[in-house]
Chain A
């Protein structure tokens, strides 16, 4: 059965989705993997970066930018990558592995509702983390508001779309929590590398930076950075993000299975 099939069956009480979402929220609180990795860790990292003396000073090796302003967009993509590639797929794959999705598929509730509930929860965690990061980064640690707020917002939304599309695809194909973790990390670390987590894009060799431009998180950091600084961003990173989102959303819908 595909995800498209009957998302709103007539014979299912609409209140069932509320109950499902409520229970899934309780689980997200009781097993706070997403809350810790996706919210607490990046926020803590931001506070540490922002508090270390010298992090706010422009550095020649970063083309005149400060470490803090370079790492700010990287932390943003870190949040989205962890929630979409680790938190979402491992939870759903656990449900598949334990036959929970299968059990729900024998009720009037479409299992896609479970998927939707998990998406909502992880997106809410992402929104929480991003709100804290943006508020703390711009106001608290003096980055200032993005100089091109429209592009900044668009870059954020496209990054959410791209990362969660990849995460949904991982959720779709992984049979077990172990497999989901493995596939998720197979994406996570290279993507974070090209986002500049270990070596900022400003210091990458041209060939690496070129590759980075075509990866979702590399494109995202580029677009976020440029719109922060008000450098008129090129269309390329936005198109790259859109392509990743479209391709993996299609693959996720195409290959999703309940068992």
Chain B
């Protein structure tokens, strides 16, 4: 359950609203498109991994690719960074075709791949310095090392690192070239909760520098916290593209506001509001269900009647609910395997 209260991060909210109102599937007019995928199709033998997938990512956006195992998420982003060649469809990354402009593409992109190790008998600092030397205009080495908590481990061999540290190093390598577009595939898988939150903070910091990020994830909270827009993939096809809130709204799942009123009031005060569908009472607590800007409407109306809503909780539908609504399946049915 996400508790995105009305007063949540103003930047994120503004961003998402703008994206949602402009057009859910495409970037707002006037913004530069960083990544454009049109009618992408990729099959392995008779198995169609990705079928007619199209989306646009605008510059500076964090774009989530979300779906269950085997949905085609990894195949999609591996086509975007030129690791796989599409059977049909067109991809442009900052105007470059990943198949024919590989050099240009790799100079401006960074990738964190699943299942890719690094030389066991190299030290963290040696790996970082080597990748740092691969780019003409790299990021600051010490800053990246510091941001990902690798400074203390700089003299450790790669093979001695824990899974979480390997993952952090992998994210560091994706960002070390100071990329315009970064593709992060299951970035926080294998990290402990604290490391996950640290990595999220880092990604938000990177976004502020204008880096476009495509984030493959199966974590709802990660997508809700970081992504401006999310593409829901299921069985190789896009089910929906929208802001996290937009997807929840679209799924038609009600929002719920719970509070304890400072003094008694008549239920009709709230049931008359267009946003409200129902009002229930559970001893002292009032539970209001509805949609739209439910919390604002409820609080303002109550305030107008001199009632203060204390101990306020807003339960909004999340991406998990949205996914179930839109596909009839659970997102987390079977994500034990990593490759798809």
Residues of A within 8 A of B (CB): 1, 6, 9-13, 15-16, 18-20, 23, 26-27, 30-31, 95, 98-100, 102-103, 105-109
**Beta-carbon contact of B129 and A108 below 8 Å:** no
**Beta-carbon contact of A98 and B133 below 8 Å:** no
Q: Can you identify 17 A-B contacts, CB atoms within 8 angstroms?
A: A6-B103, A9-B103, A11-B104, A11-B136, A12-B134, A12-B136, A15-B133, A16-B133, A19-B133, A23-B122, A23-B130, A26-B122, A27-B119, A103-B118, A106-B83, A107-B134, A108-B177
CA distance A10 to B101 in the complex (A): 12
For A99, give its contact among B109, B116, B136, B177 (CB under 8 Å).
B116
**Beta-carbon contact of A10 and B103 below 8 Å:** yes
For B113, give its contact among A31, A99, A108 (CB under 8 Å).
A99
A16 contact set on B, CB distance < 8 A: 130, 133-134
- 9 further contact pairs, Cβ within 8 A, besides A16-B130, A100-B118: A6-B103, A11-B103, A23-B127, A26-B121, A100-B119, A103-B117, A106-B81, A106-B106, A108-B134
Q: Tell yes or no: B200 within 8 A of A by CB.
A: no
For A30, give its contact among B103, B121, B133 (CB under 8 Å).
B121
A1 contact set on B, CB distance < 8 A: 102
B119 contact set on A, CB distance < 8 A: 23, 27, 95, 100
Q: Which residue of B lies closest to A31 (CB)?
A: B121
Q: In the complex, what's the smallest C-beta–C-beta distance from A34 to chain B, in angstroms?
A: 14
Q: Closest 5 CB pairs between A and B?
A: A99-B116, A98-B117, A11-B107, A19-B133, A9-B103
B116 contact set on A, CB distance < 8 A: 98-100, 102-103
Within 8 A of A (CB), among B90-126: 102-104, 106-107, 109, 111, 113, 115-119, 121-122, 126
Within 8 A of A (CB), among B8-49: none
Q: In the complex, what's the smallest C-beta–C-beta distance from A21 to chain B, in angstroms?
A: 10
A106 contact set on B, CB distance < 8 A: 81-83, 106, 109, 111, 113
Q: In the complex, what's the smallest C-beta–C-beta distance from A102 to chain B, in angstroms?
A: 6
Q: In the complex, what's the smallest C-beta–C-beta distance from A113 to chain B, in angstroms?
A: 10
CA distance A31 to B83 in the complex (A): 30
**Beta-carbon contact of B136 and A27 below 8 Å:** no
B177 contact set on A, CB distance < 8 A: 107-108
Q: Which residue of B lies closest to A6 (CB)?
A: B103
Within 8 A of A (CB), among B162-184: 173, 177
B135 contact set on A, CB distance < 8 A: 13, 107-108
Q: Tell yes or no: B131 within 8 A of A by CB.
A: yes
Q: In the complex, what's the smallest C-beta–C-beta distance from B101 to chain A, in angstroms?
A: 10
Counting chain B residues whose Cβ lies within 8 A of the other chain, the interface size class is: 20 to 34
**Beta-carbon contact of A107 and B121 below 8 Å:** no
| A107 touching B103 in the complex, CB below 8 Å, given contacts A99-B117, A102-B83 | no
CA distance A10 to B126 in the complex (A): 24
B83 contact set on A, CB distance < 8 A: 102, 105-106
**Beta-carbon contact of B134 and A109 below 8 Å:** yes
For A23, give its contact among B106, B115, B126, B173 (CB under 8 Å).
B126
B122 contact set on A, CB distance < 8 A: 23, 26-27
B106 contact set on A, CB distance < 8 A: 11, 106-108
CA distance A109 to B136 in the complex (A): 11
| A19 touching B115 in the complex, CB below 8 Å, given contacts A10-B103, A30-B121, A106-B109 | no
CA distance A27 to B121 in the complex (A): 6
**Beta-carbon contact of A13 and B136 below 8 Å:** yes
CA distance A26 to B33 in the complex (A): 43
A98 contact set on B, CB distance < 8 A: 116-118
CA distance A99 to B126 in the complex (A): 18
As a 0/1 sequence over residues 245 to 283 of chain B, the CB contacts with chain A under 8 angstroms (1 = contact) are: 000000000000000000000000000000000000000
B82 contact set on A, CB distance < 8 A: 106
Q: Which residue of B lies closest to A106 (CB)?
A: B111
B107 contact set on A, CB distance < 8 A: 11-12, 108
CA distance A12 to B83 in the complex (A): 18
**Beta-carbon contact of B129 and A19 below 8 Å:** yes
A6 contact set on B, CB distance < 8 A: 102-103
Q: In the complex, what's the smallest C-beta–C-beta distance from B105 to chain A, in angstroms?
A: 9
CA distance A209 to B102 in the complex (A): 51
B111 contact set on A, CB distance < 8 A: 103, 106
Q: In the complex, what's the smallest C-beta–C-beta distance from B311 to chain A, in angstroms?
A: 50
CA distance A166 to B116 in the complex (A): 27
A20 contact set on B, CB distance < 8 A: 130
CA distance A19 to B116 in the complex (A): 20
Q: In the complex, what's the smallest C-beta–C-beta distance from A259 to chain B, in angstroms?
A: 8
Q: In the complex, what's the smallest C-beta–C-beta distance from A30 to chain B, in angstroms?
A: 4
A19 contact set on B, CB distance < 8 A: 129-130, 133-134
For B103, give its contact among A23, A99, A108 (CB under 8 Å).
A108
CA distance A196 to B28 in the complex (A): 74
A15 contact set on B, CB distance < 8 A: 133
CA distance A136 to B59 in the complex (A): 65
A105 contact set on B, CB distance < 8 A: 83
CA distance A106 to B104 in the complex (A): 11
B126 contact set on A, CB distance < 8 A: 23, 26
Within 8 A of A (CB), among B59-92: 81-83
CA distance A98 to B135 in the complex (A): 23
Q: In the complex, what's the smallest C-beta–C-beta distance from A226 to chain B, in angstroms?
A: 42
Q: Which residue of A lies closest to B81 (CB)?
A: A106
A102 contact set on B, CB distance < 8 A: 83, 113, 116
B104 contact set on A, CB distance < 8 A: 11
Q: In the complex, what's the smallest C-beta–C-beta distance from A45 to chain B, in angstroms?
A: 27
